[in-house]
Amino acid sequence: MKSQYYAETVSQYHAPMGKSVGSNINLKNKKSDEMEEKMENIVSHVVFTLKNSRYYYQRIERINPKGYVAASFPYLNDNEEDNIIAELCNVAVELNLELIAFNFCGDHVHCIVCSKSEYLSKMMLLWKGKTAYNYNRRNILSSNDPSGKSKSDYSEAFWAKSFYRKVITNEAELCNAINYIVNNRKKHGIKPLSTKSLQLIQNSTKPFKKM
């Protein structure tokens, strides 16, 4: 039976998952429906960052390679933040990605994903790749001088290649992860998300029914 805390916390960031807007991407293995049924959904806390973010360079600093120069870290604010959240939410719905919780914090994403373990890496690749393409395309087309830009520019690297994943095994871990994600902006001293972004997150997430 779910705790009252879980129900109250999730309800703040939940609305029924919208119908897929139509993706022609089929992630199913057509060899055997039986094998598909045997695969279990895994709930994971996933984190990924912007390319060249401070987290990326923290790893480089530990290695301290010759000629290392501290970076100017990318960070999204205001309209940029609203735009990437819109792309992340819209593509998640398009891919029918089952998100239980989600938050964006300037240079990294926290989310809880329910997915068959075999598909998670491919799903993350699709989610990150398509949001990067859409975001870059939006910025290029809205710039004052989009001339000379080609479709290859839309695919410019935006996210770091890797992502962090922690499998959630029980309800207590799920409650803790949701609470951490919901309060992550406050932890980093970032102002609350806009009403527009909060509504998008609510529309693209749904509670996990059984743990």
* Residue 40 pLDDT: 81
Query: In CATH, what number is assigned to the domain containing residue 162?
Result: 3.30.70.1290
Q: Are 134 and 174 in contact (CB under 8 A)?
A: no
Residue 12 lies inside a defined structural domain of this protein: no
Look over the chain and give the mean of its residue pLDDT values, rounded to a whole number.
76
* Residue 47 pLDDT: 95
What is the spatial distance between Cα 34 and Cα 37, in angstroms, rounded to a whole number?
A: 5
* Residue 39 pLDDT: 59
Residue 57 lies inside a defined structural domain of this protein: no
Residue 59 lies inside a defined structural domain of this protein: no
144-166: average pLDDT: 71
Provide the sign of the torsion angle of the four alpha carbons 82, 178, 44, 208, taken in this order: negative
When divided into structural domains, the chain yields a total of 1
Residue 31 lies inside a defined structural domain of this protein: no
53-67: average pLDDT: 53
Residue 63 lies inside a defined structural domain of this protein: no
Most confident of 30-34, 82-86, 185-189: 82-86
Q: Which domain holds residue 157?
A: 41-49+76-142+152-204
Per-residue pLDDT of 97-153, as tens digits, reads 999 999 999 999 999 999 998 899 999 999 999 999 999 888 777 665 555 555 555
Residue 132 lies inside a defined structural domain of this protein: yes
pTM, rounded to two decimals: 0.72
